[in-house]
Amino acid sequence: MYFYAARQPILDRDKALIGYELLFRDGVDNVFPNIDGDEATSRLIEGSQFNFGLEDLTDDKPAYINFTLDTLQKGYPTLLGKDQIVVEILETIQPGKRLLAIVKDLKEKGYTLALDDYIHQPVWRHFYPYIDIIKIDFLSCKLETINQIIEEIKPFPQIKLLAEKVETYEKYQLALDLGFTYFQGFFFSKPEMVQSKSLPPSQMALAELLYETSSMDINLKKITDVFERDVTLSYKLLRYTNSAAFKRRAEISTIKQALIVLGVQEIKKFLSLLFAAQVAADKPAELIRLSLTRARFTELLAIEHHKIKDTGMAFLTGMMSLMDAILDESMESVMKKLPLSNDIKDALIEDKGTLAQYLRLVKLYEQANWEGANSIIDELSLGADVVPDSYHEALTWANSQMKVLGDE
């Protein structure tokens, strides 16, 4: 049996990552038809403990995990450390004396407690002294109800509000204005405003390098020339080449030698990573992490699918898929500035071609839309283990790359 889990980031008011909600299913092929919430939570804990480390899924951030009444009664939260998880009490649980006793006990043990998809009832007031977070669904909850909840929790200043399913910048701004502390959703992957943002010289050089490396046969002399014109890029290249991932037998003395040490595929990854990081300097780090995860995830799917000769194109497509959010403008406008191949542009703008299929699958997996993901997996004739294994590998790779960027 394979361990299927996706994650959704949770950000604070500064758009800094504070944790991930983990979403589990029994398998992409199974799409959860014969498994209830109790078993889902059990398998998520089992999988994160024995199949795939929780720290790999969450990069050492707290994991927000749903618990049913049965799994709470069985003490499942205590199988994980109090600093590892936030215990989410499912909205389907009826508030009563049994649940209150469990909540008090977990609070005494030092666990962080959240009410998931909160539906307001006066009886929940008995729980407020022990609750740290209340999650409110911004798609379904009316503003009048949200304001009522805000009034009800005023005597309990330790309670923080988390806005769920925040899909647009406008919803994010509304939640900010209402005083919400945490936010969950893909609002940060949408443009905050439509504007034209020019690329500074170093970013233009990177764009030129992306173009030069977009074909199978790269022109090493042209690439070397571009690096040699930009001292900052040269420094970053040498730092990257000097990382532990590349074991060298001799010291590097020229830019050309550094490029040869990396090899074509690593050069492509390095450049797309660097480009995204530079143009997203004022964006939340999670946006870069998601770009990196998508890039590697998409590349691994292409490798397994055997339909694209240059799998680096898939990597670049995944990396560029959030460039509209990074540059705060439409994807069409972004693509006009970047001399990328037509296949990549068709995937990103028109949602056409095999690369677009990979990207759709990646997005559906991120959202834990297992039924939609299953449909594309069938279309691509991928094996049942390919997607979860690729996703987990992509997460691990993205986390390691973020550490490299953080050292710069």
Distance CA 166, CA 137 (A): 8
pLDDT in tens, 223-256: 888 777 666 677 677 667 766 555 554 556 677 8
Angle at 260 between CA 277 and CA 220, to 5 degrees: 80
Helix 264-279 / helix 285-305 crossing angle, nearest 10 deg = 150
Helical residues (DSSP H) of 242-322, grouped into ranges: 255-262, 264-279, 285-305, 312-320
Give CA separation, 75 vs 36, 40, 389, in Å.
18, 15, 29
Average pLDDT over residues 141-167: 94
Which H or E run contains 210? helix 201-212
Average pLDDT over residues 300-316: 87
Residue with more model confidence, 248 or 154: 154
Domain boundaries along the sequence of the chain: 4-189, 201-406
What is the band of 42 on the pLDDT scale with cuts at 50, 70, 90? low
Distance CA 384, CA 69 (A): 31
Distance CA 211, CA 263 (A): 16
pLDDT in tens, 372-388: 988 999 999 988 788 88
Angle at 109 between CA 103 and CA 112, to 5 degrees: 60
Which residues are within 8 A (CB) of 107 and not within 5 positions of it... i.e. 6 or more apart? 113, 130
Residue with more model confidence, 162 or 195: 162
Which residue in 177, 168, 396 sits closest to 293, CA to CA?
A: 396
User: Which pLDDT score is estimated for 384?
Assistant: 74
Which residue in 118, 83, 88 sits closest to 22, CA to CA?
A: 88
Give me the residues paired with residue 89 across strands.
Answer: 67, 115
Which residue in 389, 227, 225, 378 sits closest to 301, CA to CA?
A: 389
Average pLDDT over residues 348-368: 93
User: Which pLDDT score is estimated for 45?
Assistant: 57
Which residue in 145, 159, 37 sits closest to 92, CA to CA?
A: 37
Other C-beta atoms within 10 Å of 177: how many?
8
Q: Which tokens belong to 94?
A: 């009826």
Q: Which tokens belong to 218?
A: 């790269």
- Percent of the chain, pLDDT > 70? 76
Q: What is the mean pLDDT of the chain?
A: 80
CB 361 within 8 A of CB 314: no
Of 30-44, 202-216, 252-266, where does mean pLDDT reach its minimum?
Answer: 30-44
Which H or E run contains 378? helix 370-380
User: Which pLDDT score is estimated for 208?
Assistant: 72
Of 46-60, 67-81, 277-291, where does mean pLDDT reach its minimum?
Answer: 46-60
Distance CA 371, CA 32 (A): 9
Length of the chain: 408
Strand, helix or coil for residue 63: strand
pLDDT higher than 70, residue 167: yes
What are the b/e assignments for 287-318, b being 16+ CB within 10 Å?
A: bbbbbbbbbbbbbbbbebbeebebbbbbbbbb
Average pLDDT over residues 71-90: 88
pLDDT in tens, 323-335: 887 777 788 887 8
Other C-beta atoms within 10 Å of 229: how many?
12
pLDDT higher than 90, residue 35: no
What is the band of 157 on the pLDDT scale with cuts at 50, 70, 90? very high
CB 339 within 8 A of CB 207: yes
CB 15 within 8 A of CB 284: yes
CB 314 within 8 A of CB 355: yes
Residue linked to tokens 């995937």: 347
CB 302 within 8 A of CB 311: yes
Distance CA 337, CA 326 (A): 14
pLDDT higher than 70, residue 2: no
Assigned CATH for 4-189: 3.20.20.450
User: Which pLDDT score is estimated for 33?
Assistant: 35
User: Which pLDDT score is estimated for 49?
Assistant: 47
Distance CA 84, CA 397 (A): 21
User: Which pLDDT score is estimated for 258?
Assistant: 78
Average pLDDT over residues 67-72: 86
User: Which pLDDT score is estimated for 43?
Assistant: 56
User: Which pLDDT score is estimated for 177?
Assistant: 95
**Top-tier CATH class for 201-406:** mainly alpha
User: Which pLDDT score is estimated for 326?
Assistant: 75
Distance CA 45, CA 57 (A): 12
Q: Which tokens belong to 285?
A: 């780090």
pLDDT higher than 90, residue 294: yes
Q: Which tokens belong to 123?
A: 């009886």
Of 122-126, 217-221, 238-242, 368-372, where does mean pLDDT reach its minimum?
Answer: 238-242
Other C-beta atoms within 10 Å of 140: how many?
11
Average pLDDT over residues 319-345: 80
Judge if pTM exceeds 0.85.
no
